Structure 1
């Protein structure tokens, strides 16, 4: 069996799908994308496949991963690691199909029977959050996530803190104490404001505060942790076990959030979550992406005992034009019941991509995140 062909599809709203075909007719799917940089990652995927994998046996996945990562003098970062991630997902999909088993069975077997998921509410600049939260709780979700704020100045006024406090207070009052609420700072908040904001939100018992500062300021996390007992989560913009090593060692992070389409795929994230377990750190994989990324997450969630919860993108505010279920031949594989998704039982990633639908809508995806500016015209963190 050899890799004989591959295709890449840019599909709405902002995703890139990879299809790898082998000489015996098997097909594996991956989702290598950096949101807003689909064309850049597409070029990286082509370079990796053309250089290292076309004509090769797909089964030695670890060797292929090491070759793609170490074969270049320059390594790491969002583009290369996302390209590797999507290829890695497709290779695992092929291997599962080769052996007639879900990927999690090849990774040691299940550690749970189902995976808890959470639902986004409130949009980019959070508004109408309480009503949206109640609607999702009525649909059966027991965990939600919301943005803490819109853009913030490096040192903002008390009103900005009051607005954030009022939003989560209203959501907490609406849904009660039995529902978990994750609060995403989205890297929009400076160290100074993160300390104030974390302390202000603590009375409303967030499940976690996410990315309180940008990853380039992870050295500030221990100081922020001193100002709150709320669990701290981060990791969506960290791309390898070497990036996570430092946050494990400083002890400030309670939940890591690697993205299966950014952090080297199934192979790398399984190693990262194993490291996290040794430091008594939970994992909640980042996944505001498409069905292949989500399926990859669920495979790792299934066999990793320290997984807390799974992000998923159904109805997320980014999904305009298409949603996560639109590319599946059988959408019921991601049917959420009581805030959980059942483990897939089909081989590989456990999903069946609707290839006709993918080909019908594939086109150059021109999604880019907005550029926000402060009142003085300077660029704000989005």
Structure 2
């Protein structure tokens, strides 16, 4: 079998997605996700100008060799653009291999380690009452794990603290600038989880996303303040670059820690995993370079009692979510899967066989990862430039978004 063509698609059925479709001389095709939220066109250029030409004529079954060629063969490697581009190709190759074998992807990876995947979704509100009510509504739908965020008194809407959407722009179509106060956030957040436990009880898992906005000692203080409410995890407590800072956080709190959605390689996670400074690794197939390298991260994490919590927000396409579900079905150290859902139009363009029932995800049982891409329908949703917000402190200092 040989690769005969590789096509790149950019569409916006509710938000922008970059899709890779690989064709072979035996008629099998595979699709992968190469989306990098807010920088989609940079990945398209990397694929079309640099990777696609060197794939034609290669054997798609040699996934490991192709991955090493695309990664090690480039002197300038790593980084989100490079790894998202490689990921799109890698997912498509695994899709082809599983289709050729006539089995679902998780079987090709080694078979199922469980019967279902617990997932969590997002509950948010402009204030504590609204956020707790939103969490209650999810629990009524069957979720047993909910991430809760609430607006902060004295601040305008801020992404990651209330219901503000992720891709937003100001009137001139440039990034919207948001306002942040660490002191107000630290005073407010423990009250959110006290109210949540009082209203929702103790049979539901509660999660919280800090969104990289604290220093290590501030994160340690928050983790200690949240200990009475037994969070499932505190996510992205500090900027991902501050890996050594997790030593300070770990020394002061027993609140479980999760990080990694912006990580691109195993090297980004190595110290955190081997020193057991985190409890959940949040890397995801599209940002980590595909299924091939993410399996290695899962194996390394398992040695050190770190479980998976793959990123699963709408900034990756249903193709990536499907791959994450298959990986989670296989991974012996699976922890939980994020699931924020998709707009209806996205699920029409990307028709998938995975299902979600009563707070649990199930992979499709057909060959491959189970997602198909409708090219004709995708053409009705052209790319729309969008940005993630920019964050500033109250004195105007640029801060972590």
- Aligned position for 2:58: 56
User: Partners in 2 of 1:193 and 1:41 — Cα distance?
Assistant: 35
Asked if structure 1 preserves the Cα contact closer than 8 Å seen for 2:186 and 2:222, the reply is: yes
Deviation (angstroms), 1:324: 5.0
- Aligned position for 2:33: 31
- Aligned position for 2:340: 313
Deviation (angstroms), 1:134: 0.8
1:381 maps onto 2:388 in alignment: no
Matches within 5 A, 1:196-275: 196-275=221-300
State the TM-score, normalizing by the size of structure 2: 0.87
Residue among 342, 348, 351 paired with 2:368: 348
Asked if structure 1 preserves the Cα contact closer than 8 Å seen for 2:9 and 2:19, the reply is: yes
Call closer, same or farther: CA 1:144–1:259 in 2, change over 3 Å: same
User: Partners in 2 of 1:152 and 1:190 — Cα distance?
Assistant: 14
User: Partners in 2 of 1:260 and 1:185 — Cα distance?
Assistant: 22
Deviation (angstroms), 1:51: 3.8
User: Partners in 2 of 1:146 and 1:275 — Cα distance?
Assistant: 30
Call closer, same or farther: CA 1:339–1:119 in 2, change over 3 Å: same
Call closer, same or farther: CA 1:50–1:6 in 2, change over 3 Å: closer
Asked if structure 2 preserves the Cα contact closer than 8 Å seen for 1:7 and 1:18, the reply is: yes
- Aligned position for 2:331: 304
> Tell me, what secondary structure is at the counterpart of 1:313?
coil
| Runs of 5+ consecutive residues of structure 2 not aligned to the other structure | 151-159, 162-178
Deviation (angstroms), 1:48: 4.1
Asked if structure 2 preserves the Cα contact closer than 8 Å seen for 1:235 and 1:244, the reply is: yes
Which 10-residue stretch deviates more, 104-113 or 268-277?
104-113
User: Partners in 2 of 1:144 and 1:326 — Cα distance?
Assistant: 26
Question: What's the Cα RMSD here?
Answer: 2.0
Deviation (angstroms), 1:241: 1.6
State the TM-score, normalizing by the size of structure 1: 0.91
After superposition, the C-alpha distances for 1:195-246 in whole angstroms (9 at most, x for unaligned) are 2211112211110011111111010101101221111111112111222211
Call closer, same or farther: CA 1:184–1:15 in 2, change over 3 Å: same
Asked if structure 2 preserves the Cα contact closer than 8 Å seen for 1:32 and 1:261, the reply is: yes
- Aligned position for 2:133: 131
Aligned residues: 371
- Aligned position for 2:92: 90
User: Partners in 1 of 2:127 and 2:47 — Cα distance?
Assistant: 33
After superposition, the C-alpha distances for 1:114-159 in whole angstroms (9 at most, x for unaligned) are 1111111217998821111111111111111134764644xx43x4
User: Partners in 2 of 1:369 and 1:123 — Cα distance?
Assistant: 20
| Runs of 5+ consecutive residues of structure 1 not aligned to the other structure | none
Asked if structure 1 preserves the Cα contact closer than 8 Å seen for 2:240 and 2:262, the reply is: yes
Asked if structure 1 preserves the Cα contact closer than 8 Å seen for 2:18 and 2:35, the reply is: yes
Call closer, same or farther: CA 1:224–1:36 in 2, change over 3 Å: same
User: Partners in 1 of 2:125 and 2:375 — Cα distance?
Assistant: 30
Deviation (angstroms), 1:23: 1.7
Residue among 351, 372, 379 paired with 1:329: 351
Asked if structure 2 preserves the Cα contact closer than 8 Å seen for 1:104 and 1:303, the reply is: yes
